Amino acid sequence: MNFEETEIKGCYLISPTVFEDDRGEFFRYFCENEFKKEIRNLNFVQFNQSINFKKGTFRGLHYQVPPFCEAKLVRCVRGSIQDYILDIREGSETFLKHLKIELSEENKKILFICEGVAHGFQTLEDNTQLLYHHTEVYNKDADRGIRYNDPRVNIELALPISQVSEKDLNYPELKEFQGIKYEM
């Protein structure tokens, strides 16, 4: 596995080593020893799958506040997405900086998103599926979000939105947002 730290400190784009033969392909997308060496020791406690029927579907930008901040490992297992991460850590050198990264069934890349970084994605194909591994269980009271079209964030989407939840559309604007206090 190759771990490449992104411009947002603590977030990594991971390229697995793929083995191919006439039967197909094989690769690991998580190895505790390699993650300990390259990132840190992680304890994933919740695994989720997202199934998205339509191209252009947008989900996000989601995060949980302390003490329920979570790191995520995200992999697209079918179709493709434009993934968006946004640093919301108070005092971070990259506070309110966002990155977009394409994840797809074809490129097999995996995104590790550290605590204090909001996450969202837009599907680039119909019937796109993602797997998420979380270091914290979902906590309804700690659940927060940032609108993709917030003027302080200025995210340019890959496609017009075909579907988005009311919840994601109705997150408040950041205006006076100072970030969340989280130290790794």
- 119 is an active site residue: no
Annotated catalytic residue within 63, 132, 148, 182: 132
Q: Could you give phi then psi for residue 73, rounded to 5 degrees?
A: -115, 120
Annotated catalytic residue within 62, 98, 119, 133: 62
> Of 72, 10, 6, 74, whose CA–CA distance to 40 is shortest?
10
- In angstroms, how far is CA 132 from the centroid of its own chain? 8
Which tokens belong to 48?
A: 């989720």
Q: Are 99 and 8 in contact (CB under 8 A)?
A: yes
- 138 is an active site residue: no
User: Which residues are registered as beta bridge partners of 85?
Assistant: 99, 119
Active site amino acids: 62, 132
